[in-house]
Amino acid sequence: MRKTLTILTILLLAVSAVYADTAVVYFSATGNTERVANVIADELRADLFELLPAEPYSSSDLNWRDEGSRVNEEHNDPSFRPELASSPDLSAYDTVFLGYPLWWGEAPHIVYTFIENSDLSGKTIIPFATSSSSPLGNSAENLEEAAPWSATWLEGMRFRSRANENTVTSWLDDLNL
């Protein structure tokens, strides 16, 4: 029994070591992207980092039907970059999954704040997004173009807002990481 436990412990440590260099970084306004990020982190045993705005979004801030809402004001000013409460140190990671909701078919400006102020040189970036209707479109390519550093960007994935765990794990299996 002791030998079996030792072998299982070694196997678990080996599996953990495979994904120890992977981080999942995400911004989620309503919890949909957070749910997908958690599945990815759990499945890969990766470290999870949430991008939080210095000024949190209220439900009225997120009301895209209100022309005066914060998200509309940000959307209407392409140069606007919301401040982050903090930014994760990703220097120890080789692979970064980057998650965000799609707002008007694009990543929210706070994700650009992160991209433009983080050094992810030489890393592999794997974008994923959530939306009830918008396709991934050019959102990942636009983030890559905004990055002041060079990295390997893999093709991203867009999940429905209420994506189930099987859909996410199937995509991860297809990545062959």
Domain boundaries, the chain: 21-175
The predicted structure's pLDDT at residue 177: 77
The predicted structure's pLDDT at residue 20: 60
Any long-range contacts for 171-176 (C-beta under 8 Å, 24+ apart)? Answer: 171/128, 172/40, 172/43, 172/44, 175/126
β-pairing, 157-160 vs 124-131, is parallel
Q: What is the mean pLDDT of residues 24-37?
A: 96
* Tens-place pLDDT, residues 48-90: 999 999 999 888 888 888 888 888 888 888 899 999 999 999 9
The secondary element (H helix, E strand) that includes residue 12 is helix 2-19
Q: Is the pLDDT of residue 3 over 70?
A: no
The answer, as to whether pTM is greater than 0.75, is: yes
Instruction: Give me the CATH code for the 21-175 domain, please.
Output: 3.40.50.360
Other CB atoms closer than 10 Å to residue 30's CB: what's the count? 13
